[in-house]
Structure 1
Amino acid sequence: MIFSRKRADDARHARDERTTEVLDPQETGESSPQAPARGPYDVSEAPDTPRLDLGSLQIPAVPDVEVRVQADPQGVIQQVVLVHGDNALQLGVFAAPRSDGIWDEVREEIRQSLFNDGAAAQEVEGEYGIELRARVRTPDGLTDLRFVGIDGPRWMVRGVYQGDAAGDPDAAGPLALCLSGLVVDRGQEAKPVREPLPLRLPREMAEQQAAAQQSAPGQREA
């Protein structure tokens, strides 16, 4: 089952109903911890902005970006893809060790897998470090892909761009804003390295799925 949702509408419903005045620390004489200038953020340091909560991954509200979530009948999310125009960004989040990041190893495995499939991948320096760019053959023809990896505290986010954004980072636009505003809620429980972190449907989407499942038997009987 696939759910699709526009982020511009989510922003209006995700905001807290309370109004909070933000004071300049210099005016109050107090110092407050500063969040990193750019994400993906760990949940412990994330700025307070409207986001779509998928459990381990929270996606910021960016106008005109559509969030497409594919889940199985039990509501377990199998795939998350952000779409803006002809560009797409597929997202994944994985467990990592405390000490070292895993993107270097994962990137090499992706490169080798592409090579085995007859596609040459090129390493280039990107906004988050070394990226992989490749052109692969699909049933629809040749498709450009750009793989981006970001290591965080005990997690790694992997993004795969398609469309013009795969060859030209400047074309990513709102999708790049989504990537830089992601929040990862790793949790404290021990997990095997590289295991996908659990993603769940938000309540609204889960209710839609439950309603669809309840109506399905009646439709068959009719």
Structure 2
Amino acid sequence: MIFSRKRDNAGRHGGDESLGSYGSDEAATPARGPYDVSEAPADVPRLDLGSLQIPAVPDVEVRVQADPQGVIQQVVLVHGENALQLGVFAAPRSEGIWDEVREEIRQSLRNDGAVAQELPGEYGTELRARVRTPDGPTDLRFVGVDGPRWMVRGVYQGQAATDPGAAGPLAECLDGLVVDRGQEAKPVREPLPLRLPREMADQAAPDEAPREV
């Protein structure tokens, strides 16, 4: 089942706001995310998907694909012609895994005949590639963010894949993302569990067709 939710003027989360929410006694709080749940700014409207909490940003549609049990298989944010697919994974306590994961993605793309290029980005080294699809060539931009025992991977499509400045509200969503890793031991790189919010899960009744909320 596929559900989608469009965020309309429900509030913003940007760098200036996050700084303004914390005084000098909260100097350890990062100026922007993705945040660990232990350090996320309060009073920001978010869609709670379990391990991921997505900030409410105007005109950004959250598309969630889930199985009949409400377990989320895919999360994609859409704004205009641009899209951002999100994933969150377990990582070791001692080090990040994005460098290793990025190299594996690059090798996989190369094996599929795509040319991938590493470039500096706001979060460190990014990976950009043009891949073949049934609809023609598609540009992708892979972004990775290492956090405390987790890693967020984002994949941009559309103009935002080649021009980071075009990401706009999608980049704002990534900056305001919150990860709730939990305390359970998990294998490195295992996807962290995502679930539908109650109001969306209620729509997953067997006889009910998917609809937009």
| Same-fold call, TM cutoff 0.5 | yes
* Partner residue, 1:176: 171
1:98 has 2:93 as partner: yes
For residue 159 of structure 1, the aligned residue among 141, 154, 163 is 154
Q: Report the CA distance shift for 1:122/1:23 in structure 2 as closer, same or farther (over 3 A).
A: closer
Q: Report the CA distance shift for 1:79/1:25 in structure 2 as closer, same or farther (over 3 A).
A: closer
TM-score by length of 2: 0.90
Structure 2 counterparts to residues 32-51 of structure 1, below 5 A:
32-48=26-42, 49-51=44-46
Cα deviation per residue 1:84-114 (whole Å; 9 max; x = unaligned)?
0000000000000000100000000000000
Q: Which runs of 4+ in 1 moved over 2 A?
A: 22-26, 31-34
TM-score by length of 1: 0.86
For residue 114 of structure 1, the aligned residue among 100, 109, 119 is 109
Higher relative helix content: 1
Q: Report the CA distance shift for 1:190/1:64 in structure 2 as closer, same or farther (over 3 A).
A: same
Distance 1:194 1:36 in 2: 24
The Cα of 1:215 is off from its aligned counterpart by: 4.7
What SS class does the counterpart of residue 84 from structure 2 fall into? strand
* Partner residue, 2:17: none
* Percent of aligned pairs with the same amino acid: 83
* Partner residue, 1:17: none
Cα deviation per residue 1:23-54 (whole Å; 9 max; x = unaligned)?
9858xxxx345421010000000001110000
Which amino acid in 1 is paired with 2:168?
G
Uncovered stretches (5+) of structure 1, i.e. residues with no partner: 13-21, 217-222
Higher relative contact order (CA 8 A, sep 6+): 2
Q: Which moved more, 1:33-42 or 1:182-191?
A: 33-42
**Greater CA radius of gyration, 1 or 2?**
1
Backbone CA RMSD of aligned residues: 1.7
Distance 1:128 1:38 in 2: 11
Which amino acid in 2 is paired with 1:108?
E
